[in-house]
Amino acid sequence: MTTLLKIQNLKKQFGGLTAVNDVSFSVAEGETVALLGPNGSGKTTVINMISGAFAPTSGRIVLAGENIAGLAPNRIAHKGIARTFQLVRILPSLSVAENVMAALAFRPNHLWGTEARDRAEHLLLEVGLGGRGHEHANDLTYIDQKRMELARALAAEPRLLLLDEWLSGLNPTELGVGIDLITSLGQRGMTILLVEHIMEAVRALCSRAVVMNVGTKIADGPTADVLADPAVIVAYLGDGHA
Ligand SMILES: Nc1ncnc2c1ncn2[C@@H]1O[C@H](COP(=O)(O)OP(=O)(O)OP(=O)(O)O)[C@@H](O)[C@H]1O
């Protein structure tokens, strides 16, 4: 398998707090990998460094052989990384279709006009919002806003998709649909790194999992093995459960 993303000795300090400490792991082309860990373990900080929201204190983030650590978010996006946010970010005053068209307009091979509208409708259909492009983004339920945010991320045709708790807040039916949607992206060859607290989803979607605790990587391997690792169980549940 070809490595798409290689994280090497990544570190992030916020003043005296070391949020991410010497973390290294890789994601192969076409893999769906989970980045796990209890609250505050540094997962979102890793995602923020990969997507360029934060510059690392030290370490390398290598995408397809090129070190992208510290580049601005728009440059990283143009290199093929797209993400969703833990708290959804949308353009609330625009329609659903316009939100996606804005993403199509800002990608390297821009799409405009009818072409963009057609592509936006296709992407909305893909995420379960078919025929709803005319609606006001602000009127969508939270779950539908998440769907729309995913359509915006997919509009960039990323090589690597970062999903930060994209499945959280879904009811059981919606969760099943969401898992199917991410599965279908993976089946089409998309490389995905996802932060997720819903273990049912992690087991269903991810062949491999990386686990962090207090900024440090404590496990990396096949998902079933990692979730059965006593060190991981202790990190999530505390001593007495391993
Ligand atoms: N911008 C920031 N400034 C200062 N400290 C920060 C900042 N962002 C994150 N932190 C701190 O870094 C640590 C790791 O936070 P992070 O959000 O990466 O954890 P997480 O594993 O994603 O947690 P959760 O599962 O709760 O989202 C925490 O102690 C957090 O308070």
How many beta carbons lie within 10 A of that of residue 113, not counting itself? Answer: 9
pTM score, whole prediction: 0.92
How many beta carbons lie within 10 A of that of residue 25, not counting itself? Answer: 18
Name every residue whose Cβ is closer than 8 Å to that of residue 209 and which is 6 or more positions away in sequence. Answer: 33, 34, 35, 36, 202, 219, 220, 221, 222, 223, 226, 227
What backbone torsions phi and psi does residue 185 show, to the nearest 5 degrees? -65, -45
* The predicted structure's pLDDT at residue 240: 54
Nearest to 98 by CA among 113, 81, 80, 78: 113
* The predicted structure's pLDDT at residue 239: 60
* The predicted structure's pLDDT at residue 115: 87
| Ligand 1 pocket check for 37: Cβ under 6 Å | yes
Distance between Cα 49 and ligand 1 center (Å): 12
How far is the CA of 239 from the CAs of 44, 211, 231, 235, in angstroms?
25, 17, 9, 8
Contact 197, 165 (CB under 8 A): yes
Distance between Cα 101 and ligand 1 center (Å): 32
**Residue owning the nearest CA to atom 16 of ligand 1:** 42
pLDDT tens digit sequence for 5-59: 999 999 999 999 999 999 999 999 999 999 999 999 999 999 999 999 999 999 9
pLDDT tens digit sequence for 181-211: 999 999 999 999 999 999 999 999 999 999 9
Is the CATH number of domain 3-80+158-237 3.40.50.300?
yes
| Ligand 1 pocket check for 14: Cβ under 6 Å | yes
Nearest to 217 by CA among 54, 32, 25, 61: 25
How far apart are the C-alpha atoms of 225 and 242, rounded to whole Å?
14
Q: Which of 13, 23, 41 to probe ligand 1 with, by most ligand atoms within 8 A of CB?
A: 41
pLDDT over threshold 70, residue 242:
no
pLDDT tens digit sequence for 86-129: 767 778 889 999 999 999 988 878 878 888 899 999 999 999 99
Contact 191, 28 (CB under 8 A): yes
Contact 58, 13 (CB under 8 A): no
What backbone torsions phi and psi does residue 156 show, to the nearest 5 degrees? -75, -5
Distance between Cα 214 and ligand 1 center (Å): 10
> Quick one: the chain helix, strand, coil %, rounded to 5?
40, 25, 35
Contact 91, 104 (CB under 8 A): no
pLDDT tens digit sequence for 124-175: 999 999 999 999 999 998 889 989 999 999 999 999 999 999 999 888 988 9
**What does the chain come to in residues?**
242
How far is the CA of 204 from the CAs of 13, 196, 211, 226, in angstroms?
33, 12, 17, 14
Residues 54-83 as b or e (16 or more Cβ within 10 Å = b): bebeebebbbeeeebbebeeeebbebbbbb
Residues of the chain with CATH 3.40.50.300: 3-80+158-237
Contact 48, 39 (CB under 8 A): no
For residues 227-232, give the mean pLDDT. 94
Q: Which of 11, 12, 14, 57 to probe ligand 1 with, by most ligand atoms within 8 A of CB?
A: 14
pLDDT tens digit sequence for 59-71: 999 999 999 999 9
Q: Mind spelling out the 3-state secondary structure of 182-211? A: HHHHHHCCCEEEEECCCHHHHHHHCCEEEE
